[in-house]
């Protein structure tokens, strides 16, 4: 059975005190999810690789590039900042193999992501080249959106195709929706506001984990 992994998203944390925020959940998280937005692929603009360099944690950094056509030098900035895995979007890249191959050459994990309305067919040719697939369960770009349950059909199909691959979900994840995604076949759960929006962040993570038992 694949390991369940919790990936708190710092998009919902207080970025002015990001290391203090991470320290609160470090013992209970498997990944730290770092959302990067360019204002082109998605409307908001967020942090860049310079900010990522300031993150101090022993937990692997799961960098999610919601970025139009990220260049090798742009990606390398996050690798140099300590990323352990980098996610690119199928919809944002003309030839995702270029970015995937560059990431893998740098000896870190590569993930490909699709938006809620993108069919799984679009990424089947990349499945043997990546380490993980991120199925967005909301439209990328904004925190706090409602979970789109129809995306579970893609996760079920993906799990049949790749029984041993990590499948990540991101968007509207809380104890209830995490269970829905888990039952569909997901094993990596990005959660932002449902963790960092709570006073007791550890209790929030435990609640998600308890829902998956």
* Tokens representing residue 44 in the block: 């908001």
Active site residue 84: no
Least Cα distance to 208 among 21, 14, 30, 1 occurs for 30
Q: Given 35, 38, 62, 166, which residue is catalytic?
A: 35
Q: Is the dihedral of CA 166, 181, 169, 60 positive or negative?
A: negative
Phi-psi region of 197 (alpha: psi -120 to 50; beta: other; left: phi over 0): alpha
Least Cα distance to 62 among 21, 14, 113 occurs for 113
- Confirm if 25 and 7 have CB atoms less than 8 A apart: no
Q: Given 38, 62, 166, 170, which residue is catalytic?
A: 170
Beta strands in 39-131 (DSSP E): 61-66, 83-89, 109-114
* Tokens representing residue 42 in the block: 């998605």
Active site residue 35: yes
CB-side exposure of 81: number of CA atoms within 13 Å? 22
Write out the catalytic residue numbers: 35, 170
């Amino acid at each position: 059975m694949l390991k369940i992994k919790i990936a708190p998203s710092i998009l919902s944390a207080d970025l002015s005190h990001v290391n203090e925020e991470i320290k609160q959940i470090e013992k209970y998280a498997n990944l730290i999810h770092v959302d990067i937005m360019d204002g082109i692929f998605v409307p908001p603009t967020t942090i860049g690789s310079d900010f990522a360099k300031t993150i101090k944690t022993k937990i692997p950094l799961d960098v999610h590039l919601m970025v139009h056509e990220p260049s090798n030098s742009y990606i390398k900035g996050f690798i140099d900042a300590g990323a352990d895995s980098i996610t690119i979007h199928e919809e944002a890249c003309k030839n995702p193999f270029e970015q995937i191959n560059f990431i893998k050459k740098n000896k870190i994990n590569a993930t490909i992501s699709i938006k809620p309305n993108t069919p799984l067919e679009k990424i089947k040719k990349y499945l043997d080249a990546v380490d993980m697939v991120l199925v967005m369960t909301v439209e990328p770009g904004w925190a706090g959106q409602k979970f789109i349950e129809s995306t579970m059909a893609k996760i079920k199909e993906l799990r049949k195709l790749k029984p041993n691959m990590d499948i990540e979900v991101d968007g509207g994840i809380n104890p209830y929706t995490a269970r829905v995604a888990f039952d569909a076949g997901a094993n990596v759960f990005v959660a932002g506001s449902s963790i960092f929006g709570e006073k007791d962040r550890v209790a929030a993570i435990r609640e998600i984990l308890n829902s998956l038992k």
